[in-house]
Structure 1
Amino acid sequence: MRLVAISALIALILDQASKYAVVHSMQLWRVREIDVLPPLLNFRYGENRGINFGLMDGDGEMGRWILVVLALLICSAVLWWLRGAQQRPVVFVSAGLLVGGALGNVVDRVIYGYVLDFLNMSCCGISNPFVFNVGDIFIFAGAIGLVFFAQDKKRA
């Protein structure tokens, strides 16, 4: 469980530090967009009040707190599932990335009322209108790691 805690803390810190650096220090909140490596990588300011791709957007304060509780329940379920598990280290790191990324988004919802998003990627003539953040990358990477590397307790 030590690997889970370390990787979760690293993911949480990197998520929050990237948001502070880009949104606040570079004043993305004011300028709204910064082209970094167009069209591949751009910074676009986004306030996600819902879940992925804006689902549940507009559900107000109730939706905000429901999403906070839901994220905390999912983190708790992942940690509960891992207790006493005999898994490879990559599974514990994956779980930590998922938990740390989710907690980064929880911190945003508690402080701002929404999740700060700023990464936008497009390629090959396709313009992507969606934005995401470093925490979302960790959530995705952690979930993929759990899917591919976790051992089924029934078969183990």
Structure 2
Amino acid sequence: MTDLHTKLKTHFAPPHTTPLGRQMLLIGLIGLILDQISKNWILYGLQLPSLGQVKILPFFSFSMVWNKGVSFGFFHSEGIGRWLLTLFSLVVSACLIDWVRRTNRRVIGLGLALVAGGAIGNAIDRVIYGGVVDFLDFSGLGFPWVFNIADAAINIGVALLFIDVFFLNREESKQG
């Protein structure tokens, strides 16, 4: 009986968090905190919803946009769609966080942590406000979308994942 108990305990024990995983989770958490602080300041400090837009530089403004969809307003959803999108974001984030905890690869860990932190930041907005607070506007450079720090973290994270898959993995294969 003890042997079975040991096997079950070993099989179902949560995976160990690596030292690198802890560092990457901290970076993801910092990104989430910066995202929420910036949105709080935009809404309640600057009060951008009442101003609409504040020009900062010729190519950059703070512009208030309530995003009811995914990144950059794609797949607009309200009502039950809002809650399904929020639930999906949180489930995916939980899976990514579990992966980050176990990682021994810096680039993939950082990419996953940034995506998870950004997704959680935007999910928090959907729960609290019914939509995501977007305000970074680089339309003066020809970039048509308004976004936030969470969106930037998600996109940087995805870029890091592509770099890891298409470039770093090939280097490891050549060396191995």
TM-score if structure 2 supplies the norm length?
0.75
Between the aligned partners of 1:95 and 1:72, the Cα distance in structure 2 is: 14
Q: Which structure has more helix as a fraction of its residues?
A: 2
Counterparts of 1:79-118 in structure 2, within 5 Å, are 79-82=97-100, 84-87=102-105, 89-118=106-135
Are 2:93 and 1:75 equivalent residues in the alignment? yes
Question: CA offset at residue 84 of structure 1?
Answer: 3.5
Taking structure 1 as reference, are residues 19 and 99 closer, same or farther at Cα in structure 2, changes over 3 Å only? same
The answer to whether the 8 Å contact 1:50/1:63 transfers is no
Q: Is the 8 A contact 2:22 2:101 kept in 1?
A: no
SS at match of 2:146: coil
Q: CA deviation at 1:83?
A: 5.4
Aligned residue in 1 for 2:51: 31
- Displacement of 1:118 in angstroms is 0.5
Q: CA deviation at 1:146?
A: 1.6
The Cα RMSD (Å) is: 2.2
Name which one, 1 or 2, has greater alpha-carbon Rg.
2
Aligned identity (percent) is: 35
Gaps of 5+ in 1: none
Check whether the contact 1:49–1:114 (CA below 8 A) recurs between aligned residues: yes
Out of 121, 143, 152, the position equivalent to 2:158 is: 143
CA distance in 2, matches of 1:25, 1:36: 16
Counterpart Cα distance in 2 of 1:84 and 1:21 = 34
TM-score scaled to structure 1, two decimals? 0.84
* Aligned counterpart in structure 2 of residue 60 of structure 1, from 78, 84, 91: 78
Q: Write out per-residue CA displacement over residues 84-139 of structure 1, whole angstroms, 9 at most, x where no aligned residue.
A: 4431x232222211111111101101111110000110245x4x542110110001
Residue matched to 2:3: none
The code of the aligned residue for 2:50 comes to R
